[in-house]
């Protein structure tokens, strides 16, 4: 187990590198020198002086008066459809931030692997999608302070001969992933503990990957632990394997040129953490008992 954990640690480093290449290739990136100077730290601290409410005057968004959030709403309990609404931890946290900044929250449901590029291109103000902070994503966008954590999980059908992650890796099994996620990155890197490119089937969202598992197109799905739990709770024929993947930090992606928005979001997160709002939202969707 120790060596596997070590292996997976190196996957995270190598995999983050792959993500950067994959997400940036073919896209025009214009980053001003002022912006790039601000992005060396993984989590940029909010400016010390003002409150979120005070800092809102300086904040410019893509459309005045609105905060446009890109997400992929097949990631329960962080974002999912309830009737014609998108709800979940991220939707509620983003709404609380928007309220503090006097902005109307607009949620756009897009493919996960287009979120960073869209934030970078100035199409969306924020990417809020249970998104893991990686060094390579930090080359394209800034991240807020982290508000939650996740761990990669493997889902298989009940009775599957895959009982452990070693079974999965050593066999000839196919793994379904959400395109461009950290699960995709880990699993596609055969050199570092994944199953390798040839055994990966990529889907636009977690739901499609799980449907592929149910219909036998893939033998397993690699996805973050909370959505994995939700999918398994909704489908009795699925089970989750224990995995030694290390913890990932979720944060909100912001365009590198919009430092005022990043600072205001960090301030808002600080206030929402201090007054217990974030904990309350998380508890609502992930009850501690």
Q: Which residues bind ligand GLN (CB under 6 A)?
A: 72, 75, 112, 129-132, 150, 178, 181-182, 224, 248
CA atoms within 13 A on the CB side of 289: 0
Distances (CA, A) of 90 to 59, 136, 251, 272, 274: 21, 22, 10, 13, 18
Choose between 25 and 49: whose C-beta lies nearer to ligand GLN.
25
Question: Distance between CA 37 and CA 69 in Å, rounded?
Answer: 25
Choose between 52 and 141: whose C-beta lies nearer to ligand GLN.
141
Choose between 123 and 171: whose C-beta lies nearer to ligand GLN.
123
Shortest Cβ 32–ligand GLN spacing (Å): 26
Choose between 113 and 219: whose C-beta lies nearer to ligand GLN.
113
Shortest Cβ 231–ligand GLN spacing (Å): 12
Shortest Cβ 29–ligand GLN spacing (Å): 20
At 69 the three-state DSSP class reads strand
Question: Distance between CA 160 and CA 11 in Å, rounded?
Answer: 26
Asked if 162 contacts 204 with a C-beta cutoff of 8 angstroms, the reply is no
Q: Which residue has the tokens 């709404």?
A: 95
Shortest Cβ 1–ligand GLN spacing (Å): 23
């Amino acid at each position: 187990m120790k060596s596997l954990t070590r292996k997976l640690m190196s996957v995270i480093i190598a995999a983050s590198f792959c993500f950067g290449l994959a997400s940036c290739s073919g896209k025009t990136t214009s980053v001003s020198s002022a912006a790039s100077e601000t992005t060396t730290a993984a989590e940029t601290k909010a400016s010390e002086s003002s409150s979120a409410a005070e800092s809102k005057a300086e904040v410019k968004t893509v459309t005045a008066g609105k905060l446009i959030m890109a997400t992929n709403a097949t990631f329960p309990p962080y974002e999912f459809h309830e009737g014609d609404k998108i709800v979940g931890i991220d939707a509620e946290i983003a709404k609380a931030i928007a309220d503090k900044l006097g902005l109307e929250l607009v949620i756009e449901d897009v493919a996960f692997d287009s979120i960073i590029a869209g934030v970078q291109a100035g199409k969306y103000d924020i990417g809020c999608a249970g998104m893991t902070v990686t060094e390579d994503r930090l080359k394209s966008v800034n991240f807020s302070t982290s508000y939650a954590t996740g761990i990669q999980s493997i889902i298989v059908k009940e009775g599957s001969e895959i009982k452990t992650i070693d079974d999965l890796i050593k066999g000839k099994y196919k793994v379904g992933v959400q395109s461009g996620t950290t699960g995709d990155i880990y699993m596609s890197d055969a050199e570092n503990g994944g199953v390798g490119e040839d055994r990966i089937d990529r889907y636009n969202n977690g739901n499609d990957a799980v449907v592929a598992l149910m219909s036998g197109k893939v033998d397993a799905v690699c996805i973050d632990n909370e959505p994995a739990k939700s999918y398994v709770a909704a489908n009795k024929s699925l089970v989750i394997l224990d995995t030694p993947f290390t913890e990932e930090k979720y944060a909100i992606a912001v365009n590198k040129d919009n430092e005022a928005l990043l600072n205001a979001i960090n301030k808002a997160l600080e206030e929402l953490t201090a007054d217990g709002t974030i904990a309350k939202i998380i508890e609502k969707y992930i009850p501690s008992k």
